Homo-oligomer: A and B are copies of this chain.
Amino acid sequence: MSERLPPRAERRRRTERHILDAARTLFAEVGFERTTIRAVARAAGVDPALVMQYFGSKQELFRHAAEAAPPPEEGLDADELVDHLLGTLDTKIGELSPGSLAMLRSMLTHPEAGAAAREALARQIDRLSAAIPGDDARLRAALMAVVMLGVTIGHQLLELEELRAVPPEEIARLLRPGLRALTGPEVS
């Protein structure tokens, strides 16, 4: 009852964050199409109209909700790259950032989300290929990226028991030789 009422600006920011949190959760759980503005608003405890007022459209809401942690692999050599990539399995598998998960889930049905996902993946391929020698570096980098993507989808979206039952390190151990092979034709 005697709650410390925050000033307007902070109240506004807090509400906006509630909406974004709800949106991320729902986009991640059921994808773009099945997420409704009304459901987001209900989960955030506000009126649907407010969501529109803040973000303009469902598309824009998704754009804001999908903004999330950019991966930081740069200036590594091939072996470090593999280790770093496998290290991200921890995050990917333990708890994928809600923004990424939302994008991952939505990218296969929603056109704009798909474009955004493709772009993000292309950037990752750029960074990866920079650390790989050879003229087929981009192909190899792309394969590394989709391998990680497949594992993430199998784990997070399809929730395969086989993958969920073991620690990330075990998966990393099994995946390492294949990724190593992708970084270059040279043997060890």
Total interface residues on A, CB under 8 Å, equals 51
Please choose the segment from A1-9, A56-64, A171-179 that sits at the chain B interface, where 4 or more of its residues have CB less than 8 A away.
A171-179
* Interface membership of A43, Cβ < 8 A: no
Query: Which of B105, B118, B150 is in CB contact (< 8 Å) with A159?
Result: B118
* Interface membership of A50, Cβ < 8 A: no
* Most chain B CB atoms below 10 A, which of A150, A165, A170: A150
Give 11 CB contacts A-B under 8 Å. Answer: A104-B108, A108-B109, A114-B158, A139-B165, A139-B166, A139-B170, A139-B171, A143-B151, A146-B155, A147-B178, A178-B178
Q: Taking A121-B158, A158-B117 as contacts, is the C-beta distance between A143 and B175 under 8 angstroms?
A: yes
